[in-house]
Amino acid sequence: MRQPTAKTSAAQRFLTFLTKMVIKVSKTITIVTVLGKRSQYPVLMNEKYKSGFGEAVRMQRAVCNLTKERLSLMVGINRLTLRRIESGDANPTLDVMYRISEGLGVPLSELIAQAEEAEKRDGTSSKTD
């Protein structure tokens, strides 16, 4: 990571500081920094929860009787992005996770709890195989 210079903006210096702190706190967190034209802050999601979150979204979408196309239109994301989230291939931002939970009519905390349960089930079944 490059060192901040006098020409670096305060926001970029703060972002660099936060990124360094996150790296120090946990090596198991995937850090995806989306910078450049959008100037967004880092997106953090523990790698093991991606597939669990996707499974929770897929199950809740089935309960609500929504198609991928309908839910993606409701929350303002591409259908392919939703498919990648449900399969655990995408690392959704907190904003996208929140919009999905709103579209499904459940609190984000409930989806995260379902993701944790899915990971416990998957972890338990893979240990016994």
Does the predicted TM-score (pTM) go above 0.75? Answer: no
pLDDT at residue 99, as a whole number: 92
Domain segments of the chain: what residues? 10-46, 49-128
pLDDT at residue 112, as a whole number: 85
Spatial contact of 46 and 106, defined as CB atoms under 8 Å apart? no
Q: Render each residue's pLDDT in the chain as its tens digit; 129 residues.
A: 555 455 567 767 766 666 665 544 443 344 333 333 333 444 445 666 778 889 999 999 999 999 999 999 999 999 999 999 999 888 888 889 989 999 999 998 888 888 888 777 776 444 333
Give the H or E element holding residue 46.
strand 43-46
What topology is assigned to 49-128 in CATH? 434 Repressor (Amino-terminal Domain) (1.10.260)
pLDDT at residue 120, as a whole number: 78
Spatial contact of 61 and 71, defined as CB atoms under 8 Å apart? yes
CA angle 91, 49, 16 (to 5 degrees): 50
Give dist(CA 73, CA 14) in Å, integer.
34
Which pair of structure tokens corresponds to residue 40? 């967004």
